[in-house]
Structure 1
Amino acid sequence: MAIIRDRSFMADDGTVPIELLISCINEHQQNLTRLNKLDEYYRGEHLILERPDSQTGLPNNKLVANHAKYITDIAVGYVLGNPVKYDNVDLIVDLYKELDISSHDSEIGKDLSIFGVGRELYYLSSDDVPVPKVTCIDPRQIFLVVDDTVEYKSMFGVHYYERMDIDGKPDGYKVFVYTDTTITEYVTDELDGGYELVGSQEHYWGAVPVVEFWNNEEQMGDFEGVLTLIDAYNALASDRLNDKDQFVDAILKIWGVSLGDDEAEASQTIQLLKKLKVLELPSSEAGADWLTKQLNEEQVEVLRNALKSDIHEFSMVPDLTDKNFAANASGVAMKYKLFGMEQLAVTKERYFKQGLRERLEMFGRMLGVKGQRVDTSKVQITMTRNLPVNDLEVAQLINLLIDRVSDETLISLLSFVDDPAAEIKKVRAQRKEAAKRQQAAFGMPFDDSDRVTDKDEDDGNEK
C-alpha cells in the first residue's frame, strides 16, 4: 500500500529530503516479510517444507499442493484473459497495441492477485524518437508516497534495488526518486544512510510517473486469506503418505520359533525368507503375522475434501476440475456455479479500472506534450470475462432478437467477432456482391443507388 506523509516534509523546491526518503524506505522494508511469504507460496515454497526430519527414521514426506498458484492463475485468467477494450481514444489504443498492453495487464493482474497491490512505472524509451512506455515492477522494489489529505495525492515514487559488481555479487543499492517533475538517482551501500547523488533530470509526464493498482480495499492477495487452510491440506497429504510408508514398512511378529542362535544366523534366515517367501513353523503353537498401523482412509478422505472445499469457498475461486463443472452445462448454469468468483471479479475489476484511468491520464498528458491532444475523460473501458462460450446458444438468441435489437449489438454477442461495426460492413459488402452476381446472371443491370452509406447510417437515413 502507498506510504502516507505530510506534504510539509517535502523541500521548498519540490525535492525529497534524504531524511524523508530513508524514513519511507524503512517503512516499505517492514512490509517485505509479508510480500516475500506470499511470493513463496505462489512459487510452491510452503510451510510444510520447513518441517524438521524425523530423528527416529520414520517417513517424513513433505508434499506441496500448490492451491495458491491455482487460485492466482484462474482468477487472473478469468478477469484479464480477454484484452481490455477502450472506446473513443484511437491514439492511445494504437499506442497500446505497439506496447502489447494486454500482456502488461496480465502481468500487473498477477501481482495484484499475489501481493494485493501492483505498481507501474512510466518512462520514455531511449530511441532516437522517444516513445512513452510502461513497465510493471515488483512491489517489493517500488512504492508510492501520498499526502495525508482525503485525496491522497501522489508526492513521489521510489524504485530501489541491489546493484551488482562485475562478479554478480551485491554491491550496495541504486535508488531512483520520481517527483512530478524530476527523476533523481542515488547510490548507497546501506539503505539507512550514506546516499550519494548520481544525477537528476526532468521528465514530462506532468505527474509522478508511478501508479498503484489495488486488488481490493484491504489490498490483500487472492489466496492470502486461506494460507492456513493450504498448510493444513499439505500437512494432511504428507501425513497420509507417511502412514502409507509405515504400512509398507510393517514389522513381522513371530512367536514360538527362533530365527537363529545369534545375530548373524538370524540375519541369514531373514534374507532367505525375503528370497524364498516361505516360512516353516515347527508346531501349531508357533505363529507369525504383521504388526501394522490401522488406516482409516474414509475419515482422511472426508477431511481432505473438507479442507479442499474450504480453500475454494473462502478464496471464491472454484475447483474447475470438480465433476459439477460438466462440459454440457448451459451458460446460465455455468454462471450460477461461478457466482462466487464473479463477485471476486467485480471487486477486482472496479479497482483495476481506477488504475487504468490513471494510466490513460498519464499517456494522455504525454501525448499532449508531443502535440497530440487526447481527451481521456470520455473513454469507455470494457472488461470481458474469459469464459467458454456456447455460440450455438448465442446464435439462437440472436435469431430471436432480430429486428428488436440493433445488428451491431447482436453481432457483439458473438465470441469470435472482435469488431462488430467492421463485421457489419463486411456482411453488407458481401450481400452487395452476391446481388450483383445474381443480377448479372439474369442479364439485369446492377443498381446500387439504394445502398446505405456510412454517412447515411450516422444520419439515420436511407437512400
Structure 2
Amino acid sequence: MAIIRDRAFMPDPNEVSLELLASCVKEHQTGIARMEKLDEYYRGKHEILKRPESTTGLPNNKLVANHAKYITDIAVGYVLGNSVKYDGKQIEPVTDLYKTLDISSHDSEIGKDLSIYGIGRELYYFSSDEVPIPKLTCIDPRKLFLVVDDSVEYKSLFGVHYYPQTDIDGKADGFKVIVYTANNTIEYNTKSLTNAGDYVQVSVKPHYWDAVPVVEFWNNEEQMGDFEGVITLIDAYNTLASDRVNDKEQLVDAILKVKGMSLGDDKAEASKTIQLLKELKVLEMPSQDADAEWLIKQLNEQQVEVLRNAIKSDIHEFSMVPDLTDENFASNASGVAMKYKLFGLEQLAVTKERYFKQGLRERLAMFGRALHIKGQKVDTADAKITMTRNLPANDLEIAQLINLLIDRVSDETLISLLSFVEDPAEEIKKVRQQREEAMKLQQQAFGMSMGEQDDPDDEDVDDGASE
C-alpha cells in the first residue's frame, strides 16, 4: 500500500527532503520480501523445491502443482478478458488516445499485478516523439511506490521509482532514484538507498501533468493477492503429491526376501545369481520350506486420493476461483446455471471491479488534464465505466430473450446483450443503413424512386382526358 507521511514534512509540494526520501524508500523495502514470495509462487518456484535432499538415498521428488498461476490467470481473464468500455459526453479525446495506447492490454497487465501482489501502480509520462503524446506504463510495485498524506483523503505527496544501475561490464553500480512531485521530475544517483547522505541530484525537469503522475490500484481493501490466502494449502498439496511419487518409487525398489535358500556363498556369486534372475525370470527353490517374496510398503491409495481432493477443494473454495476442469462445469449448461456455479468467483470479481474502477477514474482524470494542457476540451466527471465478465456466451438463449423483449426494452439495450457486438449504438446505425439500402433496391426493382408517391392531381387529369 501507499506510504503515509504527514504533509508537514513536505512544506513545498515540489521539494522532497533527502531524509524524507530515504525514510520512505526504507519503509517500502520492508514489504519487498512478501512480494518476492508471491512472484515466485506465480512463476512456479514453490517451497517444496527447497526441501533438502535425503541423506539415506531415498527418493526425494519435488512436484509443483501451480495453483497460484491458475488462480491468477482465471481471475484476471474473468474480470478483464473483455475490454473495459467508457461512455461520456466529453471523453472522446481520451477514448481515442486509449485506442492508440492499446489500453486493454495495459489493463490486463495491471490486473495481473493486482492478482499477484494485491496492488498495482501506473506511471504517466509524455513520449519523446516530435509531437509528444501522453502515455502510461505499468511498473513492478517492488520498484515504484506512492507517498500520500495522513488526511482522510490520502492526497498524493510524491511518487518514487528506483532501480539498480550497472556499469559497462554489467556489474552493480549503485541505484537510480526518480522522484515525481506535483510538477517536477527529480533524478538522483546513490550508492545506498537508505542513507540520505549518499544521494546526488542529477537533474530537475517539469513533467506537465499538474499532479503526481503515479496512480495506485488496489485488488481489495487489504491489498492481498488472489492466491495469497491459500499458500499453505498449495504447499500441502505439493508435499502430498511429491511424497506420493516417492512412495511409488520405493515400491518399485522393493527388497526380495528369500527363505530357506542362499543366492551365493560370496558377493560375486550372489551378484551372478541376481543377474540370472533378471534375465530368466525364474527362481528354483531347493526345498518345500524355501520361499521368496517382496518386502513392499503397503499403500492406501484411496485415503491419499481423498486427502488430495480435500486439499484441492479447499484451495479453490478459499481462493473463490473454481476448478473449471471439474465435471460440474458441463459444456451444455445454461447461462443461469453457469452463473450459480461461478457465484464465488463473481463475488471476488465484484470486489476487484469496485477497486479497479477507482483507479480507472484517476487515470481518466490524469489523461484529461494532459489533453487539456494540449488544448483539447475534456470532461471526465460524468464518464461511465462498464466492465463485462468474460464468460462463454449462449447467444441462442440471448437471441430468444431479445425476441421476447422487443418493444419493451430499447434496441440499444437489447443489442448490447449480444457477446459479438462491441458498440451497440454503432450497430444500430449499421442496421438502419442496411434497411434503407434494402428498401432502395426493392423500390428500384418495382420501377419506383426513393420517396416517389402518386399525385392525386395527376389522377384527376388522367380521368378528364379519358372522358
2:205 corresponding residue in structure 1: 201
2:419 corresponding residue in structure 1: 415
Q: How does 1:169-208 map to 2 (within 5 A)?
A: 169-193=171-195, 194-208=198-212
Give the distance between the partners of 1:305 and 1:238, measured in 2 at CA.
15
SS at the partner of 2:123?
strand
Give the distance between the partners of 1:50 and 1:448, measured in 2 at CA.
85
Letter in 1 for 2:5: R
> Does 2:146 match 1:148?
no
Structure 1 position 12, deviation (Å): 3.8
**8 A Cα contact 2:13 2:157, kept in partner:** no
**Where in structure 1 are there 5+ consecutive unaligned residues?**
450-463
1:119 corresponding residue in structure 2: 121
> Does 2:276 match 1:265?
no
Letter in 2 for 1:15: E
Over alpha carbons, which structure has the higher Rg? 2
Give the distance between the partners of 2:157 and 2:207, measured in 1 at CA.
15
**8 A Cα contact 2:13 2:181, kept in partner:** no
2:48 corresponding residue in structure 1: 48
Letter in 2 for 1:436: K
Give the distance between the partners of 1:370 and 1:441, measured in 2 at CA.
54
1:331 corresponding residue in structure 2: 335
Q: How does 1:73-88 map to 2 (within 5 A)?
A: 73-88=73-88
Give the distance between the partners of 1:27 and 1:266, measured in 2 at CA.
68
Q: Deviations over 1:282-332 (max 9, x none)?
A: 011000000000000000000000000000000000000101000000000
Structure 1 position 433, deviation (Å): 1.7
Letter in 2 for 1:229: L
> Does 2:367 match 1:363?
yes
Q: Deviations over 1:234-258 (max 9, x none)?
A: 0000000000000111111001001
SS at the partner of 2:245?
helix
SS at the partner of 2:33?
helix
**8 A Cα contact 1:255 1:287, kept in partner:** yes
1:383 to 387, 390, 413: 387
> Does 2:249 match 1:245?
yes
1:441 corresponding residue in structure 2: 445
Give the distance between the partners of 2:12 and 2:429, measured in 1 at CA.
59
Give the distance between the partners of 2:222 and 2:12, measured in 1 at CA.
34
Give the distance between the partners of 2:341 and 2:273, measured in 1 at CA.
62
Q: How does 1:198-237 map to 2 (within 5 A)?
A: 198-237=202-241
Structure 1 position 13, deviation (Å): 6.5
Structure 1 position 448, deviation (Å): 7.8
2:167 corresponding residue in structure 1: 165
Letter in 2 for 1:109: G
Give the distance between the partners of 2:171 and 2:60, measured in 1 at CA.
36
SS at the partner of 1:221?
coil
Structure 1 pair 126/75, CA: closer, same or farther in 2 (3 Å)?
A: same
Structure 1 position 43, deviation (Å): 0.2
Structure 1 position 63, deviation (Å): 0.2
Structure 1 position 275, deviation (Å): 1.1
Structure 1 position 443, deviation (Å): 2.1
1:27 corresponding residue in structure 2: 27
Letter in 1 for 2:247: D
Give the distance between the partners of 2:419 and 2:274, measured in 1 at CA.
69
Give the distance between the partners of 1:443 and 1:7, measured in 2 at CA.
80
Q: Deviations over 1:51-91 (max 9, x none)?
A: 00111010000000000000000000000000100012111
Structure 1 pair 107/282, CA: closer, same or farther in 2 (3 Å)?
A: same
Give the distance between the partners of 1:366 and 1:353, measured in 2 at CA.
20
1:396 corresponding residue in structure 2: 400
**8 A Cα contact 2:260 2:291, kept in partner:** yes
Structure 1 position 10, deviation (Å): 1.4
2:431 corresponding residue in structure 1: 427
Q: Deviations over 1:198-255 (max 9, x none)?
A: 1111111111000000000000000000000000000000000000000111111001
2:456 corresponding residue in structure 1: none
Give the distance between the partners of 1:13 and 1:260, measured in 2 at CA.
90
**8 A Cα contact 2:14 2:184, kept in partner:** no
Structure 1 position 423, deviation (Å): 1.3
Structure 1 pair 13/363, CA: closer, same or farther in 2 (3 Å)?
A: closer
TM-score under structure 1 length normalisation? 0.96
SS at the partner of 1:59?
coil
1:454 corresponding residue in structure 2: none
Give the distance between the partners of 1:142 and 1:249, measured in 2 at CA.
53
**8 A Cα contact 2:13 2:182, kept in partner:** no
1:90 to 81, 89, 92: 92
SS at the partner of 1:74?
helix
**8 A Cα contact 1:11 1:17, kept in partner:** no
> Does 2:358 match 1:354?
yes
**Where in structure 2 are there 5+ consecutive unaligned residues?**
454-467
SS at the partner of 2:285?
coil
2:460 corresponding residue in structure 1: none
TM-score under structure 2 length normalisation? 0.95
Query: Number of paired residues?
Result: 449
The two structures, once aligned, show a CA RMSD in angstroms of 1.0
1:103 to 102, 105, 125: 105
**8 A Cα contact 1:155 1:180, kept in partner:** yes
Structure 1 position 14, deviation (Å): 3.4
**8 A Cα contact 1:349 1:383, kept in partner:** yes
Structure 1 position 273, deviation (Å): 0.7
Give the distance between the partners of 2:9 and 2:289, measured in 1 at CA.
92
**8 A Cα contact 2:114 2:225, kept in partner:** yes
2:134 corresponding residue in structure 1: 132
Structure 1 position 166, deviation (Å): 1.2
2:463 corresponding residue in structure 1: none
1:276 to 254, 267, 280: 280
